[in-house]
């Protein structure tokens, strides 16, 4: 721990849970806005097992197909194998020239998501709900993260002696990147990019996400021809 800031932020969160003023400052919109995918972290901030437990605790309140609650979570901190997970992930596949994560800015900790049932459409929906809820909790308590689908599931299964290959990963740390969103129209370039050290993430204007039939069929045929 460098200067105790993170610990204090977490303590303040715990103390302020019942305070209405603090709750107001954490509206869903502000959490969603801050909840960007970080590929660079400030290594001075250690993520403890207690913090990971707090993040995973949101799962107790989530919807689940058939209420099956099949997800299980392996908590991996710096002391319990974060370096092993790091060797088996790929970050920033759309910016390969950057070789992310830059050495010295790797994620501090990981939540490895496993399942007690075979993978299926419903299970994957449960995983998405879980990951986004955990990511929002991380932001709420002063951390950041990134969902990781590009990883070597077989290696991670073997290294941690898991019964089945993990389904997804969530990296956690104190983000050390400047990230901005940019509004685009349907048909605009959706690829994220770096400009003067700022990570820019294009997002389609919500109004254009509402279906009108002509546009929907046009988009489907455009996607087919890509």
Ligand X SMILES: Cc1cc2nc3c(=O)[nH]c(=O)nc-3n(C[C@H](O)[C@H](O)[C@H](O)COP(=O)(O)O)c2cc1C
Contacts with ligand X, residue ranges (CB under 6 A): 36-37, 39, 90-93, 146-150, 192, 201
State which residue, 12 or 179, has the beta carbon closest to ligand X. Answer: 179
Say how many residues make up the chain: 226
Min CB(140)–ligand X separation in Å: 16
Min CB(11)–ligand X separation in Å: 27
Query: Could you give the CA distance from residue 54 to residue 200 in angstroms, rounded to a whole number?
Result: 30
State which residue, 81 or 92, has the beta carbon closest to ligand X. Answer: 92
Q: Which of 158, 170, 36 is CA-nearest to residue 111? A: 170
Angle (CA) 185-130-123 rounded to 5° is 95
State which residue, 86 or 201, has the beta carbon closest to ligand X. Answer: 201
Query: Going along 106-224, which residue ranges are E strands?
Result: 109-115, 144-148, 168-173, 178-184, 193-195, 198-204
State which residue, 93 or 197, has the beta carbon closest to ligand X. Answer: 93
DSSP 8-state secondary structure symbol assigned to residue 117: S
Min CB(177)–ligand X separation in Å: 10
The dihedrals phi and psi of 140, each to the nearest 5 degrees, come to: -60, -35
Count other Cβ atoms within 10 Å, centred on residue 143: 26
State which residue, 48 or 127, has the beta carbon closest to ligand X. Answer: 127
Query: Could you give the CA distance from residue 148 to residue 59 in angstroms, rounded to a whole number?
Result: 18
Query: Could you give the CA distance from residue 146 to residue 52 in angstroms, rounded to a whole number?
Result: 14
Min CB(83)–ligand X separation in Å: 18
- Cα torsion 149, 153, 157, 160: sign: negative
Min CB(4)–ligand X separation in Å: 28
Min CB(12)–ligand X separation in Å: 25
State which residue, 190 or 218, has the beta carbon closest to ligand X. Answer: 190
């Amino acid at each position: 721990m460098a200067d105790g800031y993170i610990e204090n932020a977490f303590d303040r969160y715990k103390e302020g849970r019942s305070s209405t003023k603090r709750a107001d400052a954490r509206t869903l919109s502000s959490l969603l806005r801050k909840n960007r995918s970080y590929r660079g972290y400030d290594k001075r901030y250690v993520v403890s097992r207690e913090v990971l437990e707090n993040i995973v605790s949101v799962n107790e309140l989530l919807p689940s197909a058939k209420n099956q609650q099949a997800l299980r979570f392996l908590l991996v901190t710096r002391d319990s194998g974060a370096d092993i997970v790091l060797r088996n992930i790929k970050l920033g596949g759309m910016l390969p020239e950057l070789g992310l994560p830059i050495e010295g800015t790797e994620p501090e900790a990981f939540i490895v998501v496993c399942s007690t049932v075979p993978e299926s459409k419903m299970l994957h929906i449960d995983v998405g709900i879980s990951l986004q809820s955990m990511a929002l909790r991380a932001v709420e308590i002063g951390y950041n993260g990134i969902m990781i689908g590009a990883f070597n599931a077989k290696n991670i299964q073997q290294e941690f002696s898991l019964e089945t290959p993990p389904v997804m990963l969530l990296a956690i740390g104190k983000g050390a990147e400047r990230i901005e969103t940019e509004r685009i129209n349907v048909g605009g370039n959706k690829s994220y990019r770096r400009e003067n050290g700022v990570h820019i993430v294009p997002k389609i204007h919500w109004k254009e996400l509402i279906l009108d039939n002509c546009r929907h069929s046009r988009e489907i045929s455009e996607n087919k021809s890509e």
